Structure 1
Amino acid sequence: MASAIEDDVVTLDRRSIYILPTRAGVAFTGLLFVLLVAAINYSNGLAYGLTFLLAAVALVALLYTHRNLHRVRISTGNAPPVFAGEVASFEVCLSNSGQTPRVALRVEQEEARSDARPPWRMAGRMQVARVHLGEGETACVTVSLPTLRRGYLHAPAISLSTEFPLGIAHAWSRRVMLPTRVLVYPRPAPPRPRLAAAGGGEQAGTGAARSGDDFAGLREYARGDSLRHVHWKAVARGQGWLTKEFGGGALGVQWLDWDALEGLEAEVRLSVLTRWVLDAEQVGELYGLRLPGKIVEPGSGEAHRDCCLVALALFGES
């Protein structure tokens, strides 16, 4: 069996397309043989003409079936991150770089890559979509895989096939393994309270170490400040954006700490920390993340949330 094609963009050529007759094609070939025997036996010119006409139609159909896959370009698309337990989606784009339409293309996916399985062994195929491409057109389909664990999940191998136009021949491509991968975040744990610090200052080893809660004054708003600490009355009066300060001038900071979950398994800790990150971001808190060998400084916003989730997803992976 030929090896799979691995590249960001793959254009199918003659060496990457195979073709064989279908059951209907085998039956059609048998019919041609019977007609030919009858024509020879009875020396019937009409039977000869019909036999050769049908044979010519079959040959032309074979050429069209093969050409239907030729010069189809396969490329990668978007692969947004997901949480463990959700379905990962890989976008695959097909482009027609030829001058004739590509009709009734079937996109088939195979199982995801596994380090325990040799690259030449594949599981069963499953049809994902049926695509029609006009001249110069591009269409994108989505290949889906369930996720079981955090980390990177590679896209499954795909292949294209067609039986256009008569269904007497089946053409298919070599397996295409696009180097796309989805980042899988840890599965968020059910909501649970965060541990509070014993004192007013920031402390390591607590689930959510917070600075003091005593109001200390106002200062100009800075990017990254929690919206919960914005002095909205001043904004409404047209006095500009001001931020409330607490505990002698330090904004409340939530430290989401690995060590605060002592006694839990590593994956359970990661799930709980994932939940805390999502909850802190939802309420607009200023939060940081402490992991063994990795510290994400306090911040807020979608970019900061994603930075924390990436650190959790790749924790312990080289």
Structure 2
Amino acid sequence: MFKKVLHKHWLAWLDKRIPPHSSHALNMRSVFILPSRFGWGFIVMCMCLFLLGTNYQNNLMLLLSYLLLSVMLLTLFYSYQNFAAIALSASSPKTVFANTSAHLTLNRIKHSDYKTTPEGLLQAHWLEINKLQLPRRKDTSTISFDIGNREQRLTVPLLLHTRGEHRLPRITFKSAYPFGLYHCWTHLDFDVKVIVYPEPKAGPVCEVVHNTEDAVGGKEDDRQGNEDFFALTDFIEGEPLNRVAWKQVAKTGNWVVKQFSEQKSDDVY
């Protein structure tokens, strides 16, 4: 219960700090940065070198610890500037069927504050997976993009299981460029909706075919028609007089009518 309340307040805080919009240009409010595991280990190593240098009064160790610490600080600023130069806009995904993947297409646009092109690998995954009744995040794969290439579009798939109109959740972007000492990330909401139709089910073929026995193997039979003479039958009151065999009536005096037939094949479905 406490986790749900905390998660709800965290999402409300994200909506205020990074409001939903069709396009995002990263800045200080939307970028989060902390040292990685390798970065924390790097800091511990610098502290150990500093302690050894002061304990043994070794100027080379002190110089090395200062040099590594300066690299750590410079990487902090460079990692932020490289990640904050990202600017993306979203295109509305096409409608899909249930249990199929919708693809959100993100277009790279020019950043108003940075003229440089970001470099390195950019990892992306969906943030609020359980909101759409999808598998947990550990069951979904993280998509990696090389943001330094010339490709101007990034495509992020999302598997949808329920029909209806869904508002796509936030996307988390991460980068550890250049040395992996820091992790830069952000949670962007592109305010995009997708319509999911019910999953189509397999059914019988509904096409009617009229053909002969040679073409489709249908069984032909003799049916009443107006083409070929078939036989003479007794006249029944009410039948049309144009079918009466007047020659037979004149010869025998018995009223008979002509019956005709035609070949028809069964309808094949």
Instruction: Give the TM-score, by structure 1 length.
Output: 0.52
Report runs of 4+ in structure 1 exceeding 3 Å deviation. 111-116, 122-126
Matched, 1:65 2:82: no
Matched, 1:13 2:27: yes
Does structure 2 conserve the Cα–Cα contact (< 8 Å) formed by 1:96 and 1:133? no
Q: Could you tell me how far apart the structure 1 residues matched to 2:170 and 2:54 are? A: 49
Equivalent residue letter for 1:36 = F
Q: Paired residue for 1:114, among 131, 134, 148?
A: 131
Matched, 1:43 2:62: no
The equivalent residue for 2:184 is 171
Report 1:283-302 matches (<5 A): none
Report 1:153-302 matches (<5 A): 153-173=166-186, 175-192=187-204
Q: Could you tell me how far apart the structure 2 residues matched to 1:73 and 1:186 are? A: 35
- Once the two structures are superposed, residues 96-145 of structure 1 have per-residue CA deviations (whole angstroms, 9 ceiling, x without a partner) of 523323122222222457389xxxxx9667522222236xx663222222
Q: Could you tell me how far apart the structure 2 residues matched to 1:147 and 1:123 are? A: 14
Q: Could you tell me how far apart the structure 2 residues matched to 1:154 and 1:113 are? A: 13
Measure how far apart 1:37 and its partner are: 1.0
> Which has the larger Rg?
2
SS class of match (1:166): coil
Q: Paired residue for 2:163, among 150, 157, 173?
A: 150
SS class of match (1:144): strand
Measure how far apart 1:157 and its partner are: 1.5
Q: Could you tell me how far apart the structure 2 residues matched to 1:139 and 1:129 are? A: 14
Measure how far apart 1:158 and its partner are: 0.5
Measure how far apart 1:78 and its partner are: 4.3
Gaps of 5+ in 2: 1-9, 209-269
Instruction: Give the TM-score, by structure 2 length.
Output: 0.61
- Once the two structures are superposed, residues 211-257 of structure 1 have per-residue CA deviations (whole angstroms, 9 ceiling, x without a partner) of xxxxxxxxxxxxxxxxxxxxxxxxxxxxxxxxxxxxxxxxxxxxxxx
- Once the two structures are superposed, residues 5-43 of structure 1 have per-residue CA deviations (whole angstroms, 9 ceiling, x without a partner) of 311111110111111111111111111111111221222
Measure how far apart 1:82 and its partner are: 1.4
Gaps of 5+ in 1: 117-121, 197-318
Equivalent residue letter for 1:9 = S
CA RMSD of aligned residues (A): 2.8
Does structure 2 conserve the Cα–Cα contact (< 8 Å) formed by 1:68 and 1:162? no
Structure with more relative contact order (C-alpha pairs < 8 Å, separation 6 or more) = 2
Q: Paired residue for 1:99, among 99, 112, 115?
A: 115
The equivalent residue for 1:88 is 102
Identical-residue share of aligned pairs (%):
25
